[in-house]
Amino acid sequence: MRKAFIDPNSRILKTHGFVSANDPGDIVIDVPEDFALEPGKWRHDGTDWVEDNGWLWAEYQSRALTALAKTSVTMERIAEAVATGTTVINAPDVVAFTDYRKALRAILSQPRPDVIPDSLPAHPGFPAGT
């Protein structure tokens, strides 16, 4: 008989297989031989398996973090352009770019919403002179 191992706090499926133990404290339940639910994406509510979308939020935040990291060089170029007089800090394209970064940081700092967006905020393009 296969076993499913569930996190005792979140009730999320951690793993399953033909072993008798996993991590100390895991909840262990018997499951059918053909059990094929993907770990991390399902939660056991005490009686049934319920799809859990917590992984979707983590994936969305990961995409936001990657997008934010890609803006760092542009921010350095904006600082240089402002310092050399090529642009000003309140130029509309500079403001749009910094607002984009603010929106990405907000995604990283907020709790999981009820509805997870399909796409990240739109990239506004690169400010002139950067």
Task: Output the pLDDT for position 62.
Answer: 94
Instruction: Give a yes or no: residue 22 inside a domain.
Output: yes
pLDDT (average), residues 17-21: 79
Instruction: Give a yes or no: residue 103 inside a domain.
Output: yes
Residues 73 and 42 occupy one common structural domain:
no
Q: Domain limits at 84?
A: 54-109
Domain termination site, one of 16, 33, 51: 51
Classify residue 72 as exposed, middle or buried by CB count within 10 Å of its CB (0-12, 13-18, 19+): exposed
Residues 40 and 9 occupy one common structural domain:
yes
Give 130's pLDDT tier (boundaries 50, 70, 90): confident
Burial 85-122 (b: 16+ CB within 10 A, else e): eebeeebebbeebbebbebbeebeeeeeeeeeeeebbe
Give 34's pLDDT tier (boundaries 50, 70, 90): very high
Instruction: Give a yes or no: residue 9 inside a domain.
Output: yes
Residues 43 and 62 occupy one common structural domain:
no
Instruction: Give a yes or no: residue 86 inside a domain.
Output: yes
Number of domains observed in the structure of the chain: 2
Give the least confident one: 9-23, 28-42, 97-111, 112-126: 9-23
Residues 21 and 65 occupy one common structural domain:
no
Task: Output the pLDDT for position 120.
Answer: 97
Compute the distance between CA of residue 22 and CA of residue 13 in angstroms, rounded to an integer: 12
Give 60's pLDDT tier (boundaries 50, 70, 90): very high
Instruction: Give a yes or no: residue 70 inside a domain.
Output: yes
Instruction: Give a yes or no: residue 118 inside a domain.
Output: no
